[in-house]
Amino acid sequence: MHLYFVRHGLAHWPAWPGNDAERPLNRDGQLIMEAAAQGLSRRAVRPELILHSPLLRARQTAEIIAAALDCTERLREHHLLEPGFNPKALRDLLREHESAARLMFVGHAPDMGEVVAHLTGHAAKFKEGTVAHVKVKEPEKKHLKGKLEWLATADELAGE
């Protein structure tokens, strides 16, 4: 099973006056995520499903990626990806989507990095727009373990 963990792009901060759940990507965040999504396309990333946090900045990031990968019909919001996402929530998502071989999750820091570190045993720093590809051989096992195939920042993906 191939899992892709994505931290949302650069969002308005710290001057955002509204509700945090409604905090959008800023213009730079949109532009770099569009370029990074093209990098994912060049890497032939083809998720069967893209699940994203209900928070606006994660949804916008997922929409940009889905458009670049030509899979907007495979985009779904999931409450388990809101801040606080953890290995137990990942296990629940994998059970819920057990027939999928390639899943992408779009969420927040520090959650994405912590879950990748838990799976792989490697600390993973997740700047805005970072993507990690983790291969899990036995997703049905009680203790999930995976191999970090690659990790790339949005800037690295954009430059490919």
Concatenated DSSP letters of 103-117: EEEEE-TTHHHHHHH
Structure confidence at residue 19 (pLDDT): 86
- List CB contacts of 11: < 8 A, sequence separation 6 or more: 23, 24, 25, 26, 29, 57, 128
Domain 2-10+22-151 has CATH 3.20.20.70: no
Give the model's pLDDT for residue 142: 73
Question: Tens of pLDDT along the chain (160 residues)?
Answer: 999 999 999 998 777 788 888 999 999 999 999 999 999 999 999 999 999 999 999 999 999 999 999 999 999 999 999 999 999 999 999 999 999 999 999 999 999 999 999 999 989 889 999 999 999 987 777 788 999 999 999 999 999 8
pLDDT of residue 16: 78
- End-to-end CA distance of the chain, in Å? 25
